[in-house]
Structure 1
Amino acid sequence: MREVAFIKQNKQKWLNFEKTIYNNHFKHPDELSSLYIQLMNDLSYAQTYYPKSKTISYLNQLASAAFQRIYRTKRTKTNRFISFWKTEIPLIMFDYRRYTFYAFLIFGLFVAIGALSAAYDDSFVRLILGDHYVNTTLENIENGDPVAIYKSGSNWGSFIGITFNNLFVSMKSFIFGISGGIGTGYILMVNGIMLGSFQYFFYEQGVLWESVRGIWIHGAMEIFAIVITGAAGLVLGASILFPKTYSRLTALKIGLKNGIKILISTFPFMFAAGLLEGFVTRYSNTMPNWLSVGIILLTLAFISFYYLIYPHIIHKKLRTHVATI
């Protein structure tokens, strides 16, 4: 069967499936499960005969939405709060995994641009970080503590100030997605260039390792979470630019709802990063290397697993389970 004929034959069924999912037009989870099995049959057929078709992406999106609806309506002993973190967020991240990739790609590109700009322009670091920060850090390097600037103020004061700042940047990164993703890209650009020039500055001064073992104690989760909120902003922007089969308003509602959920999911990591910066980073020069490196690797591994690996595990697990319903 030609792909055009396949689409024509099943188009109305898929559109009805969309309405069923997003408007809750079903009486029982088993009804949705039955429709889901039909959809999976169509998806398998498309993957076999039209492996490069955009139809596969469309059907995969419907399948992911069905996963969420089935497990949201199914009676379980797990409360709503736990299921949000354990199932719903991972499935949303799986569904929008390409936007996570785009966010990291954009951010990484501008980190490289920031580092290269600092390497070829002596005034660039001062332009980005400001004279006060650069002069203070140079003094701290001479005094033997390159990251002393992160140890000023009280523990709680640093925690509260940094946490609120990070939350503000994250929410701005998401909200700016309403511009079609351009505003989100700008936030990722600014933070990427800042990070690249920042790290090159320490490298140029010969204290890169000292900066890494100190700043990245809190920075691993902080930077990662900011990029994830960038992905949420791109989701919002894409819902406006690429509504697919939905009306633009419906697509915006879906993108806004899922983007907000992704944004909310980063809040605990932001609080954890703030706690680390307020109560742990200030002691980085007195703790052994194995401890500081261990904290960095542990926090990076945890947030990476949750957003990059766990979604695939949950998707595979639920797909196998639903197929047996």
Structure 2
Amino acid sequence: MKEIIFIRNNIRKWQDVENIANDPSAYSPDDLADAYTDTTADLAFAYTHYPNSRITLYLNNLCVALHNGIYRNKKEKWSRLITFWTQEVPDTMFEARRLLLAAFTIMMVSVVTGIVSQLGDHDFCRIILGDAYVDMTLENIKEGMPMNVYTGGREMNSFLEITQNNIGVSFNIFAMGMLTCIGSGIMLFYNGVMVGCFETLFWQHGLLGESMLAVFLHGTLELSAIVVAGAAGIALGNGILFPGTYSRITAFRRGAKRGLKIVVGTVPIFIVAGFIEGFLTRHTEVADGVRLLFIILCLAFVIFYFVVLPRRRNRKRKLTTLRKSDLPYDEDLIQQTSMHHSSNGMTPD
């Protein structure tokens, strides 16, 4: 059978299945089971006769959507708490790798903007950081304790307040995506400008090295998580701006689900960053080499978790899929291609 005839004979049925996949709760378990059985049979046929066609990818994605709808209320095991951060978040980060690059680019551009602005106007930092904070910082520098801002208060109280604030900032950046990705981009830009002008202020007083060792002791994790939260916000905003073949509300829900998974994945990182800032950053007497090594280790973790691990898992999935040759519509294959459903849509044209 020619591919065009196969599509014409089944396109109406697949459109009905799309409706089921988009709102599975509105249909009975028998309807879901029948739709899943018919669609996997069509997938097997397409995989055999048109293995490299877009219709095969379309049916694979349609099976994924049905599978998720059938099992979405399945009782989760406690191991989900582990697999969420070791598997689901890295997989989602691979889907959002371009958004992560966009968020990182915005942050870097804003940091440079903050540096240039502070170099051009020594009072620029007062606009961004506020007069009270700048005056306190300048007073600490005069007294020979430039990082004294991190030594005040009880350690536990500082840890809790900082962690709560950082998590709040990340969710705010994510929520700003509801104003389209521009909202999250503006918040990312503002945070980057803060970092740029703050570090430039210390450079202007000959204290850049001490400042960076203190700030990036916790800031490596903190700023990285903010960039990731920015990617989550952009994912949310893109669901509104670029719905693709989905309705705008469906695309928004999908973007919100993916973005929320990303931003929740940053919570442990903010907790660790808050602990470091509350308990460790204040000890500026620690040897510079030790602090630098700690910063490098934090940076290595960030690169591994958000860049290397997602790519490794994607490569592993591809190899596993290639080895599945007996049953092309097997449930394992469908689960392994769930990423493609979210990034390519379900339209066969």
TM bracket (short chain): 0.7 to 0.9
Equivalent position of 2:121 in the other structure: 121
Distance 1:87 1:27 in 2: 30
| Residue-by-residue CA offset, 1:235-264 (whole Å, 9 max, x unaligned) | 000001111111111111111111111110
After the TM superposition, which parts of structure 1 deviate over 3 Å for at least 4 consecutive aligned residues? 8-46, 72-78
Name the amino acid aligned to 1:96: A
* Higher relative contact order (CA closer than 8 Å, sequence separation 6+): 2
**1:322 counterpart = 2:321:** yes
SS in 1 for 2:243: coil
Name the amino acid aligned to 1:82: I
Equivalent position of 1:175 in the other structure: 175
Distance 1:172 1:166 in 2: 10
User: How far 1:266 moved relative to its partner?
Assistant: 0.3
SS in 2 for 1:111: helix
| Residue-by-residue CA offset, 1:65-111 (whole Å, 9 max, x unaligned) | 77x959x8899998222221122111111112111111111111111
Equivalent position of 1:107 in the other structure: 107
Task: State the TM-score, normalizing by the size of structure 2.
Answer: 0.76
Distance 1:272 1:30 in 2: 46
Distance 2:80 2:146 in 1: 45
**1:280 counterpart = 2:285:** no
| Residue-by-residue CA offset, 1:197-248 (whole Å, 9 max, x unaligned) | 1111111111000011111110000001011111100000000111111111
Within a 5 Å distance, the mapping from 1:61-210 to structure 2 comes to 62=61, 79-210=79-210
Distance change in 2, residues 1:319/1:147 (3 Å) = same
Q: Which stretch shifts more, 15-24 or 142-151? A: 15-24
Name the amino acid aligned to 2:288: N
Distance 1:179 1:231 in 2: 14
Distance 2:12 2:220 in 1: 47
User: How far 1:40 moved relative to its partner?
Assistant: 12
Q: How many residues align?
A: 305
Distance 1:84 1:29 in 2: 26
Larger radius of gyration: 2
Distance 1:191 1:26 in 2: 49
Equivalent position of 1:248 in the other structure: 248
The unaligned stretches of length 5 or more in structure 2 are 25-31, 325-329, 331-349
Equivalent position of 1:229 in the other structure: 229
SS in 1 for 2:266: helix
User: How far 1:141 moved relative to its partner?
Assistant: 1.9
Distance 2:195 2:43 in 1: 45
Q: Percent same amino acid among aligned pairs?
A: 36
Q: Which stretch shifts more, 203-212 or 312-321? A: 312-321
Name the amino acid aligned to 1:310: L
In the alignment, is the contact (CA less than 8 A) between 1:175 and 1:233 conserved in 2? yes
User: How far 1:299 moved relative to its partner?
Assistant: 1.3
| Residue-by-residue CA offset, 1:266-288 (whole Å, 9 max, x unaligned) | 000000000000000001x2111
Distance change in 2, residues 1:129/1:75 (3 Å) = closer
Q: Which stretch shifts more, 177-186 or 219-228? A: 177-186
Distance 1:147 1:118 in 2: 20
Distance change in 2, residues 1:119/1:75 (3 Å) = same
In the alignment, is the contact (CA less than 8 A) between 1:180 and 1:241 conserved in 2? yes
SS in 2 for 1:282: coil
Task: State the TM-score, normalizing by the size of structure 1.
Answer: 0.81
Name the amino acid aligned to 1:278: G
Distance 1:300 1:266 in 2: 15
In the alignment, is the contact (CA less than 8 A) between 2:17 and 2:35 conserved in 1? no
Distance 2:304 2:168 in 1: 25
Equivalent position of 1:306 in the other structure: 305
Distance change in 2, residues 1:153/1:319 (3 Å) = same
Equivalent position of 1:265 in the other structure: 265
Distance 2:15 2:280 in 1: 53
Structural RMSD (CA): 3.5
Equivalent position of 2:216 in the other structure: 216
In the alignment, is the contact (CA less than 8 A) between 1:26 and 1:32 conserved in 2? no
User: How far 1:139 moved relative to its partner?
Assistant: 2.2
Distance 1:322 1:19 in 2: 28
Distance 2:214 2:114 in 1: 21
